[in-house]
Structure 1
Amino acid sequence: MTSMLTPAMTSSDSQDAAMTLWDAPKGTVALIASVDTGLDPQVQLRLRDIGIEPARQLICLQRGPFGGPVVISVADTVYSLEQPIARRIRISPTV
């Protein structure tokens, strides 16, 4: 996968451009920038197992009403993530 950093963009610029998965509007196509290492180790392992790891592409398919889960597609598989986890995944939207 190609890097999101261009010669004109520094690592700190990339971090500033990142948002949490929870904040992503429906239809957002993004690369996962980071997964919070403060998450429970079992949760981190499960996220890696399903392909939610840095540099992977995802699509925000749907946002649940009233703070419901965010529905995403990663590697042609659909998952839903609740707010406490989605807020700890940072993404960088692609153009």
Structure 2
Amino acid sequence: MPPIVDPANERLKDQWKCVNGHWLRCSFSKRLLASFMEGFKGEIDRESGRNTDLVEEVMLQYAGTAYVGVIEWWIKNGMPYPPRVIAKQVGALLGRTL
């Protein structure tokens, strides 16, 4: 699994608060999505047979956008849970998917 980006970082927190949603989606989210998708490539379970009929690109897009979406939701809603809680929750969900 790729390293967790720590959105609690004060500089990053300020960027999320100060810029409009368009920049957020077009710049930060795209880079974050690309990073996660690259990191998830080695995580897809092909050995159990449960993902054999699924296209890798679709799986990566699904998992990556879910991960980015949760991070965006978490920050936009004032980070209602500690970073470790979010990381554990998303990790468990991705483990069920990939």
TM-score, normalised to structure 2, is 0.29
TM-score by length of 1: 0.30
Which one has a bigger Cα radius of gyration? 2
More helix by share: 2
